[in-house]
Amino acid sequence: MSLIKSISVGHGDMFYIKHNSDNFTIIDCCMDETNVDSIVKELKKETNGIGIIRFISTHPDDDHIRGLNHLDSELGIINFYCTKNEATKKDETQDFKKYRELRDSGEKSFYFSKGSNRKWMNLDDEVRKSSGISILWPHTNNKYYMDALKIAKDGGSPNNISPIIKYEVNDGATVLWMGDLETEFMENIANDLNLPKVNILFAPHHGRYSGTIPQKLLTQMNPDIIVIGEADSQHLNYYNGYKTITQNSAGHIYLDCVGKKVHIFISGEKYSVDYLDQEHVTTHHSKYLGTLNL
């Protein structure tokens, strides 16, 4: 079994994957005084006894790295994954300084791009199985991506240096993250992408209209469920015509991936959907929302 959790952090992103191997992955970080103690406590519990713990940073905006300095002091981040960049900020927070320190550390950092291979991200050996993570973007020689790198280097928005990350459970679910990629950028790179069928898609830019996925890419991925992140409702695209989970109402989202099933649990007691199978699954999680059969 593999567990994916999308942590409800308000207007920001933070996920973790407890793999069905000796791997644990944290994607982005958004913690403040209201949630930092509980999140760090949970991460320490879930990583206990795990051999490989990696942190993936999609991009260094505050709502994706807030609390990174504290997280490093508590967990000791030694595997830091990001796109190779020289992003700068006019006003550097402690968390951005920590991002820059980890990013620029030859010992701790790993720069990924489309097709990157790394033990034990997506390569097995005799010690442990891989995590099942692969990188579908960026193409580092793409003109629009190189322009995005320059904008970030000059202190502008780093949204479009975000990677596209695929997690594939053995003979099971395919899950995709797209960071904070923006609509116009995705339209510009669409001909340079060949995305797979996806079971669970985390909508880019928290599901905002500014990160609306072009129809060409939606058709490629044909997602079974789109998770719309946390942002002010007037800014959200609810992807009419697709099955969705809205984190504003659902709260924490847990995806228990077991074979050809994804059992979905949430912390929002009043939230429900009508498209999942009801298999009356019980675990230590909160409310059972239903099961996606693949």
pLDDT by residue for the chain (294 residues), tens only, comes to 899 999 999 999 999 999 989 999 999 999 999 999 999 999 999 999 999 999 999 999 999 999 999 999 999 999 999 999 999 999 999 999 999 999 999 999 999 999 999 999 999 999 899 999 999 999 999 999 999 999 999 999 999 999 999 999 888 999 999 999 999 999 999 999 999 999 999 999 999 999 999 999 999 999 999 999 999 999 999 999 999 999 999 999 999 999 999 999 999 999 999 999 999 998 766 899 999 999
Q: Which residues contact 132 (CB under 8 A, 6 or more apart)?
A: 2, 19, 21, 122, 167, 168, 169, 170
Taking a C-beta distance cutoff of 8 angstroms, is the pair 273, 290 a contact? yes
Task: Measure the CA–CA gap between 187 and 192, rounded to whole angstroms.
Answer: 10
Give residue 161's region: left, alpha or beta (phi > 0; psi -120 to 50).
Answer: alpha
Domain ranges of the chain: 2-293
The pLDDT score that the predictor gives to residue 221 is: 98
Q: Which residues contact 78 (CB under 8 A, 6 or more apart)?
A: 53, 108
> How many CA atoms lie less than 13 Å away from 254 in the CB half-sphere?
20
* Domain 2-293, CATH among 1.10.630.10, 3.40.50.300, 3.60.15.10, 3.40.30.10: 3.60.15.10
Taking a C-beta distance cutoff of 8 angstroms, is the pair 30, 66 a contact? yes
Q: Which two tokens stand for residue 129?
A: 């199985």
Q: Which two tokens stand for residue 170?
A: 């053995």
- Where would I find the H helices in 21-129? 36-47, 62-65, 68-75, 94-103
Regarding pTM above 0.85, the answer is yes
Strand, coil or helix: what is 159? helix
Strand, coil or helix: what is 204? helix
Task: Measure the CA–CA gap between 257 and 250, rounded to whole angstroms.
Answer: 18
The pLDDT score that the predictor gives to residue 228 is: 98
Per-residue DSSP letter, 183: H
The pLDDT score that the predictor gives to residue 123 is: 95
**Largest CA-CA distance found in the chain, in angstroms, rounded:** 52
Work out the angle at residue 8's Cα, subtended by the Cα atoms of residues 27 and 93, and round it to the nearest 5 degrees: 60
- Our CA dihedral for 79, 85, 88, 92, rounded to 10 degrees, sits at -10
Q: Which residues contact 60 (CB under 8 A, 6 or more apart)?
A: 87, 89, 96, 99, 100, 103, 158
